[in-house]
Amino acid sequence: MIARIVLAVLLLGALPSNAAAAVEIAFYSRELGGNNFPHAFVALHGTLDSTGETVDTSYGFTAHSVTPAILFGSVSGEVVVEGPRQVARSTRQFEVTLTDDQYRAVMALVDEWRNRPQPSYNLNHRNCVHFVAALARTIGLHVEEVPGLMKRPRSFLLHVVELNPTLAASAPPQVAAPAPPASEAVPPAH
């Protein structure tokens, strides 16, 4: 009898535990510089509680072709999977652990943006920052689409952290940008 109890305990301990399963969504930004255009995107990593499915992907929204046409109106847009190189040269601003329902809502929104009628990208009204704003709103974060921030991925995501104080714990410490050399300093506006 004791041998059966010990065997049962060992077998139960060997079963996968849902308690450790979770998918995290991390919000990233990249600033203008070198060959980089400003950009915002999300990365999803973890395991779904309900199925045990492993999740390891990332999504951003961008113009299909980056040409001067994006400055003059709507152009063809697409949801892209951001590769490891993009993630490595970007900054994680914060992350949130998702429930399975939130994960499904995120994936539904990604699919909705992927299947929008073309032209779907507009630098002023439907860009990568608008995309991550919609994702943040979908998972229950407070979001304000401040016009002055909607082309500034880092500033927008830092504003989301300000609006959602619980995110501060998942945000990396911010490093101030170095001051420009005196020869490049811009005089203050009057």
Taking only the tens place, the pLDDT of each residue in 44-69 is 999 999 999 999 999 999 999 988 99
Helix (H, G, I), strand (E, B) or coil at 69: helix
Low-confidence ranges of the chain (pLDDT < 70): 1-20, 34-35, 173-190
Cα–Cα dist 57/59, whole Å = 7
Q: What percent of the chain has pLDDT over 70?
A: 78
**Signed CA dihedral, 92, 40, 46, 97: sign only:** positive
* Per-residue confidence (pLDDT) for residue 36, from 0 to 100: 72
Strands ordered across the beta sheet of 54-63 = 77-80, 54-63, 39-47, 23-30, 91-98
